[in-house]
């Protein structure tokens, strides 16, 4: 049996190595051949959202770096263990950067699991999953978000067995060893991670109406993304209500020190920040998490009263796939001294918008714009996102079965154009 440890600890944090050091002897005693991989030491680029791993090189990311080898190790393992500091209730950017590439390991076609949309399997079997996080001190809310995220991952990773635990960084070696042994015993019993997600936090208003709003677009498609389209429409509506606006594309900024510095200064000067991004692997894209971590550290030294709202869109028609990401955004707001203004959750954003200007779209985009108008009205007054508008934006714009049917047809159409229609089901990472 093979156990693969993905260590998502950041530079200067010895916790991953410490936990791995205790894990390996326990795993070896159970008959596992173990490999410990420190992800920050690997060359892994960001997923660029191109779907090339489905439409150009089915089953393999088009980015030729270490993500390919690590995906192969994942598919050929019996157990994946993820080590990470619990970051706003989610994963570290060091771990999430690799997980974002896991989309290559499933099929573009849809299936239903417990009545909700997911992607079909690419491989017949996948590793079991164990996630181990750590915190500086106990935090029930972050732990609950973390457990829920792992549960969602276990569904989309097709893990037959899944487990999750959170360790306090200050615990002694013997206590950590006992916790790890208990987690592995629980995994052997076949128990699944199951836990309800806490709500996304109580949204609150600002002391004064915002004078300047900053849109931070977290899609790698940048200007041509659905996130930019939806967020851009909201910014236009804020402008008509007297709010000055600015848009920054995160993926572009994090590649350049000067642009990154300008982005952070823009956050400092804004009265209202709006994060807009697509859902990646049940959570937030890695560059956005990395930026959130930078902002938190910066605001510890440069506090300024500012509101934060979020816009999340996912490729599945059911908007509740976004729940974990929304809870992470609320947790980030609390840790970074933002006033949490609430979040917008949209299902099927790719099918609804597909990067086109929202103002130019008709049909199901019309009620979306109407609801966003209400959101703009509230935010411009310094009030939180209205619950009624959230509910309207969260409703599926078409029945789920129609969305899945059209999605299947669309993937087949694109595959024919790319010349890979007979290869969409390839399983390139299986051992010879």
Tokens (6 digits) for 388 = 């009624």
pLDDT in tens, 108-136: 999 999 999 999 999 999 999 999 999 99
| Fold: same for 2-188 and 212-394 | yes
Query: pTM for the whole thing?
Result: 0.96
pLDDT at 246: 98
Alpha-carbon span 338 to 320, nearest angstrom: 24
For helices 140-156 and 323-335, what crossing angle results, to 10°? 150
Question: Looking at the predicted structure, is the pLDDT value of residue 157 above 80?
Answer: yes
The residue-averaged pLDDT of 160-178 equals 93
The residue-averaged pLDDT of 297-302 equals 81
The band of 314, judged by pLDDT with boundaries at 50, 70 and 90, is very high
- Pairing, β 128-135 against β 116-121: unpaired
Alpha-carbon span 35 to 3, nearest angstrom: 6
Provide, rounded to the nearest whole percent, the portion of the chain with pLDDT above 70. 97
Average pLDDT score over the chain: 94
pLDDT at 196: 76
| Half-sphere exposure for 344 (CA within 13 Å, toward CB) | 31
pLDDT higher at 153 or 199? 153
pLDDT at 319: 97
Question: Looking at the predicted structure, is the pLDDT value of residue 333 above 70?
Answer: yes
pLDDT at 354: 84
pLDDT at 48: 92
The CATH H-level (homologous superfamily) assignment of domain 212-394 is: Flavodoxin domain (3.40.50.360)
pLDDT in tens, 1-40: 999 999 999 999 999 999 999 999 999 999 999 999 999 9
pLDDT in tens, 366-414: 999 999 999 999 999 999 999 999 999 999 999 999 999 999 999 999 9
CB atoms under 10 Å from CB of 304, counted, come to 12
Alpha-carbon span 285 to 287, nearest angstrom: 6
pLDDT at 351: 85
Place of tokens 């642009």: 259
**Topology adopted by domain 2-188:** Rossmann fold (3.40.50)
The band of 302, judged by pLDDT with boundaries at 50, 70 and 90, is low
pLDDT at 383: 96
pLDDT higher at 82 or 304? 82
pLDDT in tens, 183-226: 999 888 765 556 678 776 678 888 899 999 999 999 999 999 99
The band of 52, judged by pLDDT with boundaries at 50, 70 and 90, is very high
Q: In the 3-class helix/strand/coil scheme, how is the chain assigned residue by residue?
A: CEEEEEECCCCCCCHHHHHHHHHHHHHHHCCCEEEEEEHHHCCCCCCCCCCHHHHCCCCCCCCCCHHHHHHHHHHCCCEEEEEEECECCECCHHHHHHHHHHHHHEEEEEEEECCEEEEEECCCCCCEEEEEEEECCCCHHHHHHHHHHHHHHHHHCCCCCEEEEEEECCCCHHHHHHHHHHHHHHHHCCCCCCCCCCCCCCCCCCCCCCCEEEEEECCCCHHHCHHHHHHHHHHHHHHHCCCEEEEEEHHHHCCCHHHHHHHHHHHHHCCEEEEEEECECCECCHHHHHHHHHHHHHHCCCCCCCEEEEEEEECCCCHHHHHHHHHHHHHHHHHCCCEEEEEEEEECHHHHCCCCCHHHCCCCHHHHHHHHHHHHHHHHCCCCCCHHHHHHHHCCCCCHHHHHHHHHHHHHHHHHHHCCCCCCCCCCCCCC
Domain ranges of the chain: 2-188, 212-394
pLDDT at 432: 56
pLDDT at 202: 75
């Amino acid at each position: 049996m093979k156990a693969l440890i993905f260590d998502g600890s950041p530079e200067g944090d010895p916790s991953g190595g410490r936990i791995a050091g205790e894990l390996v002897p326990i795993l070896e005693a159970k008959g596992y051949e173990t490999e410990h991989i420190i992800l920050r030491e690997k060359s892994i680029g960001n997923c660029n959202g191109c779907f090339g791993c489905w439409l150009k090189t089915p089953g393999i990311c088009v980015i030729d770096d270490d993500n390919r080898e690590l995906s192969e190790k994942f598919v050929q393992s019996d157990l994946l263990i993820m080590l990470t500091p619990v970051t706003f209730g989610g994963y570290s950017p060091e771990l999430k950067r690799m997980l974002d590439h896991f989309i290559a390991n499933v099929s573009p076609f849809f299936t239903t699991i417990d009545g909700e949309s997911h992607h079909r399997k690419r491989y017949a079997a996948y590793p079991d999953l164990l996630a181990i996080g750590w915190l500086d001190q106990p935090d029930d809310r972050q732990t609950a978000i973390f457990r829920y995220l792992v549960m969602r991952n276990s569904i989309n990773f097709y893990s037959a067995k899944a487990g999750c635990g959170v360790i306090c960084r200050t615990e002694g070696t013997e206590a950590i060893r006992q916790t790890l042994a208990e987690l592995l015993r629980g995994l052997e019993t076949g128990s699944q991670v199951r836990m309800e997600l806490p709500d996304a936090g109580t949204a609150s208003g600002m002391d004064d109406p915002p004078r300047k709003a900053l849109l931070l677009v977290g899609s790698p498609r940048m200007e041509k993304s659905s996130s930019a389209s939806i967020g851009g429409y909201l910014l236009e509506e804020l402008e008509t209500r007297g709010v000055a606006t600015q848009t920054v594309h995160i993926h572009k900024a994090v590649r350049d020190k000067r642009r990154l510095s300008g982005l952070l200064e823009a956050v400092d000067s804004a009265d209202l920040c709006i994060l807009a991004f697509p859902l990646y692997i049940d959570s937030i894209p890695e560059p956005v998490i990395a930026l959130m971590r930078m902002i938190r550290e910066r605001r510890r030294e440069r506090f300024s009263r500012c509101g934060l709202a979020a816009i999340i869109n996912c490729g599945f028609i059911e908007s509740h796939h976004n729940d974990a990401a929304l809870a992470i955004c609320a947790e980030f707001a609390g840790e970074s001294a933002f006033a949490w203004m609430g979040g917008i959750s949209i299902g099927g954003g790719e099918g609804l918008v597909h990067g086109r200007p929202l103002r130019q779209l008709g049909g199901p985009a019309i009620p979306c714009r109407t609801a966003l108008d209400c959101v703009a009205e509230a935010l411009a007054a310094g009030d939180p996102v209205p619950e009624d508008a959230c509910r309207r934006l969260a409703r599926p714009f078409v029945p789920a079965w129609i969305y899945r049917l059209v999605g299947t047809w669309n993937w087949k159409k694109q595959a024919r154009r790319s010349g890979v229609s007979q290869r969409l089901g390839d399983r390139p990472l299986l051992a010879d």
